[in-house]
Chain A
Amino acid sequence: MITNNQHQNLSPLPQKLETIIKLFEFLSEEEKRETLIHYADQSSKQAPISGESFDIEDIRKDEECTDTVGIHLRIDPNGQTFWRVSLGPKVQTLTKALTTILCRGLEGVHFQQVLDLPHDFIPRIVGSQLVRARSQSIYYVLTRMKGILRAWLAKKRLEVLTSEKN
């Protein structure tokens, strides 16, 4: 049974993510852009690999993004999360970059820590020049990741309730 207790006393930002954020904070705006492009180039590698199985998947095209985004989540018995994200070709470059950063930065992170993540670390990565009108989709992938975790938690609770009734 997975509990939230395993998450106690953790810092708000997972270590891998914090390392990536610190890297970006040292970069000039131009270097930030180049590094974001590098991460965007790696986004196709975050897609599910043939034969992988997941505890829950959420693939949809909704109104806040320009193309289909699929979130594929595996959670181990300790509550650690492992993410795969599939992106349609018209997804914006910043969203692609954030996909790679989040998949890597949240690998193995406890689900409660992901749910507790504040969104304000994202501008620290992207930089003030790129957080502007028509680039708000930078928050989209993290929002979807939290959304699938909530759906997974609801499913788990329902399973527990059903087994208790039986």
Chain B
Amino acid sequence: MNPETSYANPEAVVSTEWVSQNIHNPNVRIVESNEDVLLYSTGHIENAVHIDWTTDLQDSTIRDYISPEQFAALCSKNGISPDTEVVFYGDKSNWWACYAFWVFRLFGHKKLHVMNGGRDKWIEEGRPLTRALPQFSPTNYPVPRRRRDSEIRAFFEDTLAHSNARLPLVDVRTPGEFRGEITHMPEYPQEGVLRGGHIPGAKNIPWRTAVNPDSTFKSAEELRKIYIEQNGLNPSDDIIAYCRIGERSSHTWFVLTELLGFEKVRNYDGSWTEWGNRVRAPIEKG
């Protein structure tokens, strides 16, 4: 898979070149996941299907993810079987690709990959896009027995207990959001958060520190320096990562888990839009 072999899970990342050579591989399903809701329709990698973070991965009423039955239906519809190598890519340096990767992992799908550099790198390299929608025969994806929430997902109560116990919490937002100076992220409108600041005890390691200017992931050596040497995290630590709604922290979850081999990292997807609105939730500023 032409991986960066020094990553803990070298197969978690595939190159744009690898994807271009596997566009017609029947064992591979390329999935585009974006923040920009219409971007896929403006052009995508040939044979890539679209999985939308809101309408496909989240419950349409409650703030939660889809059920195992809905996940099986989503995979079946897109011609994905349990043995399919699913390759995610997208905009925003692969935020939503990592988010979709994390949701697929919640349901136990094993063969998951992220295309390094995402959509921006593919375009930067002059590779072609198409508007033609791919057609795949539906599969009969078995309904997963459960969603692995307790393993890789943290809820408010878990995060509060983590904070009280002074266990490692990684706030991946921008320093301005962390310090409570702004209640939205730069370049975005307010998303309805009443209080600014961070969860007591959290360390601010912005997600962006893990990527190069071309949106590719930094090397394993560089990532070890950032997370282990400079910020004192250990691969055996019990870690919770959070941001505003869980997409940037799924990027960091991917880096820590797949690229550095950390053993227990959970993504608090409620993140700041839950914590910053919660009555009496403790907050630190500065």
A positions within 8 Å CB-CB of B? 33-34, 36-37, 40-41, 63-66, 92-94, 97, 129-130, 132-137, 139-140
Contacts and interface: CB of A to CB of B under 8 A. Distances in A.
B279 interface: no
| Residue in B37, B187, B245 whose Cβ sees the most chain A Cβ within 10 Å | B37
B41 interface: yes
Interface string B229-263: 00000000000000001000000000000000000
B126 interface: no
Interface residues of B, number: 16
B188 A93 contact: no
B41 A33 contact: yes
B36 interface: yes
A162 B187 CA distance: 38
B274 interface: no
A135 B35 CA distance: 8
Given A64-B188, A136-B189, A137-B189, A93 B54 contact: no
Mostly, the B contact residues are: loop
B188 A33 contact: no
Contacts of A139: 189
A133 B191 CA distance: 7
A31 B120 CA distance: 27
A134 B37 CA distance: 9
A37 B133 CA distance: 15
B187 A66 contact: yes
B132 interface: no
B194 interface: no
Interface of B: 35-39, 41-42, 54-55, 184, 186-189, 191, 245
B60 to A, nearest CB: 10
A93 B36 CA distance: 7
Contact of B39 (A93, A129, A136, A140): A93
B245 A133 contact: yes
Contacts of B184: 63
Given A63-B187, A66-B187, A134 B42 contact: no
B54 A64 contact: no
Contacts of B245: 133
A115 to B, nearest CB: 21
Contacts of A40: 38, 42
A133 B36 CA distance: 11
Task: Give 4 closest A-B pairs by Cβ, nearest first.
Answer: A93-B38, A136-B189, A92-B36, A63-B186
Contacts of B35: 92, 134
B37 A135 contact: yes
A64 B187 contact: yes
Contact of B38 (A66, A97, A132): A97
Nearest to B41: A37
A139 B188 CA distance: 12
A129 B56 CA distance: 12
Nearest to A137: B189
Contacts of B55: 129
A64 B36 contact: no
B54 A132 contact: yes
Contacts of B41: 33-34, 37, 93
Contacts of A37: 38, 41-42
A134 B246 CA distance: 13
A133 B187 contact: no
A66 B186 CA distance: 9
5 contacts: A33-B38, A40-B42, A63-B186, A63-B188, A136-B188
